[in-house]
């Protein structure tokens, strides 16, 4: 395995692309879905089963890990890969998004963001430099710049000010990364600018000047709705470098993924399959179902008799229904597993469809099967 | 595989024995520990991992299953083995013990016990006949007679009255079993009589007259303490048939198992490894530890580096500590798995020690390593 980070594009079909990201810890086939391993574990999953679903990479949350068990402790225990028994690639976010959504008494300045831990009230400061230092202590393969991620709607001027701050933080993140990182690690910049085309273009140009190994679209999936998100992608991805991975952060549901791949996105992460699984929601080829509904109490069929995933194939819906009704651990375990398999199978289908030049046909089939209006 | 239920004794060492129970669904090596699968799942475990620990058989709880999802529903879905994706042997209890400990407004009569569900308040009646009917609907391989299981201490006369009721219920259970069961299924009788030698002997003689495929010692591990439990075993097991399996119900901690095997017991079940695992307690070769203790926050060593069990070998104590502190599912999942592996490894060691005529030596080593005074 090479010690270099690289991206190879293998095929295009319209705006949709398929390729491979190479890292020292292994390859990531794109379009890729990254299961979220918030606190050093993809919730309710054994890591070997995450791998078995076909996941090439998982995401770790800097905010959670810096507070508990702390980045220094993870480093002293040999890094995040060893800590969580996942020897494959890991992407870490910058921590910024969750500081703003989870912490208390936060204060944003040019320097960074100071905040109080939601766990024990302790005080912390997250700067671009500290975020990169933490991500390097964790040892992640793909790291993200610190950015500010405001919700939509936001006034144009407020969005511009925020985007410019993120751009300055991008430069400071890059400078810190060049000092602290190891060969083969990669840093991605994050395009901000809400749903303003001019700001998105301006943001991207500033990032291109700094130069990153990949570019993310941030600040979406923050309440704007699917149609608006797709509209933003349509005036953003065409200008992103063709030779670098494109990552749509925090997205999404299956129809979001299909629509975003159609618009040229390569990478995704989202808590949807794991969180929904813990709450009894299962994605199936015919759309989403809630296994807790009484209609499943006598349903002898598994979620997907043709799947190779034991969670999808070896347990009746009636049994899964029973597990959730009885509050058993195994319910969330099996539904999380099933959902992650569904997501990875979807990525395989999309990669194959793009490679075969049949993505349009795939999209039509997906819409017909799931009843999704907009993809 | 034969359609017959049988027991073959392979070796003795003092009172300790090792052998094999044969059932149509597979063999059970004795001494055997049966993980408890209360509501159709060994909590926080995938069934294939239960199997991988070396478990030949699991226990299902009639009380829980009759209330939810109901025995009739399990039967209509193909039986408990299929329902919980465990094709190997299953033993079910009679439900009596948990009716007395969990249900509300229960009333014991000659006919049986009427009670209110702890789940939804619905009214039910459990008789010897109904208990066997439920166990046959579930399709369990080894079934238990309905009995009354009073706590110790209990007055001699009260114990005698209770034991005689259990003996009459034993006959009714046997009669129902002969009508309802399939070839290869087995029914065990349960010796009662608290800590009174005369009553235990009387109870056993009544059961021998009825004739069962195996005999259980019930009414222990109900508060009497380890020393008293061993004393009761010492005046009970020597009179139990050598050619039939002997099952000590609801026992126990590792030292309980070692001491009971030394006194001629072949089968055990207990929630200890699973329940303790969910609460952060792990058994190790050097005794029990609580992984939540601060001392483990930086401990890079796994629970057992020499184990073949991934849960014991592939995760540091620091990581397990972190999972419990963060309230992650994976903590209970891994510690349950580790504990079940510890229990099954202990059974393997005991079987091998008995077969080699070295059980005394094994017992001394176990005591020295764990610091247990009484085994």
Q: What is the pLDDT of residues B60-116, one digit of tens each?
A: 999 999 999 999 999 999 999 999 999 999 999 999 999 988 888 899 999 999 999
Minimal Cα–Cα distance from A258 to chain B, Å? 30
- Cβ within 8 Å of residue A355, ≥6 positions away: A10, A11, A18
Alpha-helical runs (H) found in chain B:
47-52, 62-67, 71-76, 80-83, 96-102, 128-138, 156-180, 197-210, 226-234, 254-262, 272-278, 310-313, 317-325, 330-355, 359-370
Chain B residues inside the 8 Å CB shell of A73: 297-298, 318
How many A×B Cβ pairs under 8 Å? 104
Chain A residues inside the 8 Å CB shell of B45: 330
B73–A39 C-beta distance less than 8 A: no
Mutate to test the interface with B, among A64, A72, A85, A274 (most CBs of B within 10 A): A85
Residue A270, strand partner residues:
A35
Cα–Cα distance measured from residue B42 to residue A330, given in angstroms and rounded to the nearest whole number: 9
The pTM of this model reads 0.97
Minimal Cα–Cα distance from A316 to chain B, Å? 7
Chain B residues inside the 8 Å CB shell of A41: 323, 328-330
Chain B residues inside the 8 Å CB shell of A63: none
Catalytic, B13? Answer no
Please determine, for residue A1, whether its predicted confidence score (pLDDT) is greater than 60.
no
| pLDDT score at B48 | 97
Please determine, for residue A42, whether its predicted confidence score (pLDDT) is greater than 90.
yes
Chain B residues inside the 8 Å CB shell of A310: 46, 48
Mean pLDDT value across residues A107-134: 96
Catalytic residue among B93, B147, B304, B345: B93
Chain A residues inside the 8 Å CB shell of B77: 298, 300, 316, 318-319
Instruction: Report the residue from A43, A297, A315 with minimal CB separation from B69.
Output: A297
CB of A295 less than 8 A from some CB of B: no
Residue A21, strand partner residues:
A7, A28
Minimal Cα–Cα distance from A84 to chain B, Å? 7
CB of A296 less than 8 A from some CB of B: no
Nearest alpha carbon to residue B187 among B141, B250, B219: B141
Chain A residues inside the 8 Å CB shell of B41: 323, 328-330
Mean pLDDT of chain A: 97
The continuous run of DSSP H or E covering A9 comes out as strand A6-13
Minimal Cα–Cα distance from A30 to chain B, Å? 28
Where b means 16+ CB within 10 Å and e means fewer, B34-72 reads: bbbbbbbbbbbbbbebbebbbbbbbbbbbbbbbbbbebe
B77–A300 C-beta distance less than 8 A: yes
Chain B residues inside the 8 Å CB shell of A51: none
Instruction: Report the residue from B64, B69, B319 with minimal CB separation from A84.
Output: B319
Mean pLDDT of chain B: 97
pLDDT bucket at A285, cuts 50 / 70 / 90 = confident
Minimal Cα–Cα distance from A301 to chain B, Å? 10
| pLDDT score at A105 | 85
Contact B214, B184 (CB under 8 A): no
Please determine, for residue B363, whether its predicted confidence score (pLDDT) is greater than 80.
yes
For residue B48, give the chain A residue with the closest CA.
A310
A48–B316 C-beta distance less than 8 A: no
Where does residue B126 fall: left (phi above 0), alpha (psi -120 to 50 degrees), or beta otherwise?
A: beta
Q: For the segment B265-289, what is each residue's pLDDT rounded down to a tens digit?
A: 999 999 999 999 999 999 998 889 9
Where b means 16+ CB within 10 Å and e means fewer, A275-308 reads: bbbbebbbbbeeeebebbeeebbebeebbbeebe
Q: Which residue in the block uniquely carries the two structure tokens 């995704």?
A: A268
Residue B27, strand partner residues:
B22
Mean pLDDT value across residues A182-186: 97
Active-site residue set of A: 93, 269
Tokens describing residue B61:
């709880």
Catalytic residue among B13, B141, B266, B269: B269
Cα–Cα distance measured from residue B375 to residue B362, given in angstroms and rounded to the nearest whole number: 11
A318–B77 C-beta distance less than 8 A: yes
Catalytic, B147? Answer no
Extents of the domains making up chain B = 6-276+340-370
Chain A residues inside the 8 Å CB shell of B321: 69
Would you tell me how many other CB atoms lie within 10 Å of the CB of residue B267?
25
Chain A residues inside the 8 Å CB shell of B70: none
Please determine, for residue A252, whether its predicted confidence score (pLDDT) is greater than 90.
yes
Three-state DSSP state, A15: coil
CB of A84 less than 8 A from some CB of B: yes
| pLDDT score at B374 | 84
Q: For the segment A9-37, what is each residue's pLDDT rounded down to a tens digit?
A: 999 999 999 999 999 999 999 999 999 99
For residue B78, give the chain A residue with the closest CA.
A300
**Does domain A6-270 sit in CATH 3.60.40.10?**
no
| pLDDT score at A2 | 58
Cα–Cα distance measured from residue A52 to residue A343, given in angstroms and rounded to the nearest whole number: 13
C-alpha distances (whole Å) from A368 to each of A255, A262, A286, A364, B205 are 12, 16, 9, 6, 70
Cα–Cα distance measured from residue A357 to residue A156, given in angstroms and rounded to the nearest whole number: 39
CB of B151 less than 8 A from some CB of A: no
Please determine, for residue B293, whether its predicted confidence score (pLDDT) is greater than 90.
yes
CB of A72 less than 8 A from some CB of B: no
A85–B319 C-beta distance less than 8 A: yes
Contact A92, A58 (CB under 8 A): no
Q: For the segment A139-176, what is each residue's pLDDT rounded down to a tens digit?
A: 999 999 999 999 999 999 999 999 999 999 999 999 99
Rounded-to-10 torsion of CA B26, B31, B36, B42: -60
**Does domain B6-276+340-370 sit in CATH 3.40.50.1970?**
no
CB of B353 less than 8 A from some CB of A: no
Q: For the segment A361-375, what is each residue's pLDDT rounded down to a tens digit?
A: 999 999 999 999 888
Nearest alpha carbon to residue A65 among A81, A49, A89, A44: A81
A69–B325 C-beta distance less than 8 A: yes
Instruction: Report the residue from A39, A76, A316 with minimal CB separation from B326.
Output: A39
| pLDDT score at A270 | 98
Complex ipTM value: 0.97
Three-state DSSP state, B208: helix
| pLDDT score at B287 | 87
Mean pLDDT value across residues A243-272: 98
Minimal Cα–Cα distance from A343 to chain B, Å? 21
B318–A83 C-beta distance less than 8 A: yes
A39–B314 C-beta distance less than 8 A: no
Q: B296: number of CA atoms within 13 Å, CB side?
A: 22
CB of B117 less than 8 A from some CB of A: no
């Amino acid at each position: 395995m090479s010690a270099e980070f690289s991206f190879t594009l293998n095929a295009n079909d319209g705006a949709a692309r398929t390729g491979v990201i190479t890292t020292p810890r292994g390859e990531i086939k794109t379009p890729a879905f990254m299961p979220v391993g918030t606190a050093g574990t993809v919730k309710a999953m054994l890591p070997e089963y995450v791998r078995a679903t076909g996941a090439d990479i998982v995401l770790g949350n800097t905010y959670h890990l810096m507070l508990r068990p702390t980045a220094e402790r993870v480093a002293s225990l040999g890094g995040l890969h060893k800590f969580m028994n996942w020897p494959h690639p890991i992407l870490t976010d910058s921590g910024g998004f969750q500081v703003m959504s989870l912490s208390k008494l936060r204060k944003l300045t040019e320097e960074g963001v100071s905040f109080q831990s939601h766990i024990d009230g302790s005080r912390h400061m997250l700067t671009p430099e500290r975020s990169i230092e933490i991500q390097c202590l964790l040892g992640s393969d793909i790291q993200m710049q610190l950015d500010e991620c405001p919700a939509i709607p936001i006034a144009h001027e407020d969005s511009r000010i925020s985007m410019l701050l993120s751009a300055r933080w991008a430069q400071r993140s890059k400078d810190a990364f060049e000092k602290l990182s190891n060969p083969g690690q990669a840093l991605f910049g994050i395009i901000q600018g809400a749903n303003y085309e001019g700001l998105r273009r301006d943001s991207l140009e500033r990032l291109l000047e700094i130069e990153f190994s990949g570019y993310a679209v941030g600040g979406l999936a923050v309440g704007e709705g699917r149609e608006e998100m797709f509209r933003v992608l349509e005036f953003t991805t065409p200008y992103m470098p063709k030779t670098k991975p494109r990552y749509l952060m925090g997205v999404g549901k299956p129809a979001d993924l299909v629509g975003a791949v159609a618009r040229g996105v390569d990478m995704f992460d989202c808590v949807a399959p794991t969180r929904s699984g813990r709450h009894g929601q299962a994605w199936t080829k015919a759309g989403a179902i809630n296994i807790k509904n009484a209609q499943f109490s006598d349903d002898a069929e598994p979620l997907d008799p043709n799947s190779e995933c034991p969670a999808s194939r070896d347990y009746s819906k009636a049994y899964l229904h029973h597990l959730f009704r009885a509050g058993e651990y195994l319910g969330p375990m099996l539904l999380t597993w099933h959902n992650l398999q569904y997501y990875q199978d979807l990525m395989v289908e999309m990669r194959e469809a793009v490679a075969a030049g049949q993505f349009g046909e795939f999209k039509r089939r997906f819409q017909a099967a799931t009843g999704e209006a907009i993809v």
